[in-house]
């Protein structure tokens, strides 16, 4: 690895340790990722973003620490430092996506993290999902929170950006009016919040580590709905193992589409109208 002076100097300021080498890391959609080799022999990942929104990296660090505090919960990278312009994490060496044992362990760990719970719906501060601000102010029920903090803000933004048609938006709004009947209340779970395949890092240590959280207290079916929306290797094994620790309601799969409206609308806002059409199609099944 060569040494990128600017990244190395900033990391040294935050870590109080010398950086002996750096290398770019491919794959990030939002931030620039750099691998660091420290004088201690430790390897770290530094994520930077010019003109990052206020609180952007601090929210990521808070989410990782919040998820990491559960014994037997999902593995997350250790936060080594966080500031307004970057976050530095312990490096997780990627490995194979084939071990069934890793998927089974992940199901148990995700259930344990969810079961640890949260103080209420949302969080005591707002966060981000991707580049988009994510409101977290609490509400009186999951159905209310999901409507006013997850679906409607991104439906409005998708409309403003021309990423959803009036007809598809009307289908989503019709489902919002029925959320009180469609979504059962249960105790708030400790959610990753953006749990798609790309945020599940299969490590060389034979464990699945979760990265890039949009963490908050919410209904546990949201994390599972996102895994089903974008897929995960050995997902049936993950769900079966999850249910051994924290059994799901018999009809939870019937609500997958309802809980997929949020990520579909977020993706419509970020990537365009194909996702808006998918949100409308999914909503039409429940309206």
Find out whether 147 and 258 touch, Cβ atoms under 8 Å: no
Find out whether 46 and 77 touch, Cβ atoms under 8 Å: no
The catalytic residues are: 194
Find out whether 110 and 223 touch, Cβ atoms under 8 Å: yes
β-bridge mates for residue 86, sequence order:
48
* 221-230 helix and 256-271 helix, angle to the nearest 10 degrees: 60
Residue in the structure block whose two tokens are 């760990």: 109
d(CA 236, CA 253): 12
Find out whether 55 and 134 touch, Cβ atoms under 8 Å: no
Find out whether 96 and 105 touch, Cβ atoms under 8 Å: no
d(CA 118, CA 190): 5
């Amino acid at each position: 690895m060569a040494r990128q002076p600017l990244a190395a100097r900033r990391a040294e300021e935050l870590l109080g340790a010398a950086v002996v080498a750096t290398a770019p890391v491919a794959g990030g959609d939002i931030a620039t990722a750099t691998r660091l080799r420290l004088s201690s022999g430790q390897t770290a990942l530094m994520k930077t973003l010019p003109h990052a929104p206020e609180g952007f990296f601090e929210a990521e660090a808070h989410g990782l620490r919040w998820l990491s505090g559960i014994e037997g919960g999902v593995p997350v990278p250790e936060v080594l430092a966080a500031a307004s312009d970057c976050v530095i994490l312990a490096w997780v060496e990627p490995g194979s996506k084939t071990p069934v044992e890793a998927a089974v362990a992940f199901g148990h760990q995700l259930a344990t993290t969810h079961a640890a719970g949260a103080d209420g719906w949302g969080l005591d501060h707002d966060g981000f999902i991707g580049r988009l601000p994510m409101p977290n102010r609490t509400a009186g029920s999951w159905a209310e929170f999901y409507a006013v903090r997850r679906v409607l803000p991104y439906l409005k933004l998708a409309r403003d950006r021309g990423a959803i048609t009036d007809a598809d938006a009307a289908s989503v709004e019709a489902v919002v009016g029925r959320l009180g009947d469609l979504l059962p209340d249960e105790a708030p779970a400790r959610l990753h919040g953006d749990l798609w395949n790309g945020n599940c890092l299969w490590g060389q240590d034979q464990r699945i580590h979760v990265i890039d959280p949009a963490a908050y207290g919410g209904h546990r079916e949201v994390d599972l709905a996102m895994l089903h929306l974008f897929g995960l290797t050995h997902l049936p094994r993950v769900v079966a193992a999850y249910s051994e620790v924290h059994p799901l309601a018999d009809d939870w799969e019937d609500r997958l589409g309802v809980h997929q409206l949020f990520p579909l609308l977020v993706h419509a806002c970020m990537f365009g109208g194909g996702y808006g059409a998918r949100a409308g199609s999914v909503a039409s099944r429940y309206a």
